[in-house]
Structure 1
Amino acid sequence: MAAEDGDPWGPAAPPLPRVLCDTARLPSPGGEAAAGVLWKLAEPGRQLDANVVRLPAGGRVDTHTEPDLDVLLLVLDGTARLDSADGEHPLRTGALTWLPHGSTRAVLAGPDGVTYLTVHRRRPGLRIQPPEAADRLRRSLGEGA
């Protein structure tokens, strides 16, 4: 059998760029149905996570610290306020903000709400492992016999 006959489906095709979402066509800012995650990147094999999020007027993402991931936040529509350790920062349409890992932040939507895109490295998924994997880890840490 020749090498080219080894894969009945042919060589794997390289991934191709493609348009995933037209943010201008996402639900409009009115009403409760338009709040929350409007779109998320869900392509298999990706290295990034991305979400388009809508907060209604006065909505907020409470104060939190992201210990592991840098996040880019791009305001697509509306206004918001970013609260961080160094104070309050107004955000308007077009504002691109870097939220470094380890930083503490909160986002408060303006009077007309805010729609924004976040992008960050993909978090590794949880993997189910056999019970003996935990035993091996304990032994390597000197916690078991």
Structure 2
Amino acid sequence: MNFGREAMMTSDIECDVRSLGDSGKQRAIFAHFDSLSVGQSLVLVNNRPIEHLRDAFDAEYAGSYSWQELEPRPRSWRVRIGKTASDALPRVVGHTSSGDLDRRSAVWSLPIQRRHDLDVTIVTLAPGTSTTPRPGPAVDTLVHVLAGTGTVTTELRDLDLDPGTLLWLPRHTPRSYTAGPDGLRYLRVRPHQQSPVPDSDGPW
């Protein structure tokens, strides 16, 4: 078996991150990978395996990359990462029936990654419970009621919610959800906010 440079193919691009700090390694690797054409590969060089890197590739580029360890030895870690498709492939990420209606929780959310531009969350509220009234985020929100019943209290009126309801909440809309006797489950979708300020809408 050949290791290191002898194992590199003519289409490989070397990405040596040994001189970078931990916070900069992943950014550099993703930047190199993004620059590849389909069929090209990069050979990643580091002085040790990078923890959770493959998990990050699964989240960012699911189904569209290959992974081959060329040199797994300590202090000299080389991995060939190939681009097999132009972008991440579609995949099933969850099911709207998940989560019990007898407790309040954000039962599922789309993992936030650097290239994703949607925040998607499935929320359940136990029967008769309410969320804390608060102003909405600085983006529009779409809510699809999946199960149960309830109301959403806005600035001037209450709106009834039942399965199939599509609710549009303009940005900054004050809102509070109250579940009916059977609980409430809804899917919430909105643009991802690139902001260090905590989300004023909370997980609900």
Check whether TM > 0.5: yes
Which of 127, 145, 148 does residue 57 from structure 1 map onto?
Answer: 127
Structure 2 vs 1, CA of residues 66 and 43 (structure 1 numbering), >3 Å: closer, same or farther?
closer
- Higher Cα Rg: structure 1 or 2? 2
Deviation at 1:123, TM superposition (A): 1.9
Q: Equivalent residue for 1:133?
A: none
Equivalent runs, 1:95-106 vs 2, <5 Å:
95-106=165-176
Identity across matched positions, percent: 31
Query: Which one of 105, 111, 128 corresponds to residue 36 of structure 1?
Result: 105
How many residues are matched? 123
Q: What does residue range 1-145 of structure 1 map to in structure 2 within 5 Å?
A: 4-6=11-13, 7-8=42-43, 9-11=81-83, 13=85, 14-24=87-97, 26-30=98-102, 32=103, 35-44=104-113, 45-124=115-194, 126=196
* Cα distance in 2 between the residues matched to 1:102 and 1:66: 4
| TM-score, normalised with respect to structure 1 | 0.73
Letter in 1 for 2:99: P
Mapped to 1, the partners of 2:150 and 2:177 lie a distance apart of: 7
> Quick one: structure 1 residues 67 and 28, their matched pair in 2 at CA, closer, same or farther if it must change by over 3 Å?
closer
Contact 2:100-2:124 within 8 A present in 1 as well: no
Which 4+ residue blocks in structure 1 deviate beyond 6 angstroms? none
Counterpart residue type for residue 143 of structure 2: L
Could you say which structure has the higher strand fraction?
Answer: 1
The Cα of 1:5 is off from its aligned counterpart by 3.3
SS in structure 2 of the partner of residue 119 of structure 1: strand
How far does the alpha carbon of each residue in 1:13-70 deviate from its partner, in whole angstroms, 9 at most, with x for none? 311111111122x13324x4xx211111105231111111110111112221124111
Structure with higher RCO (Cα < 8 A, 6+ apart): 1
**Aligned partner of 2:11: which letter?**
E
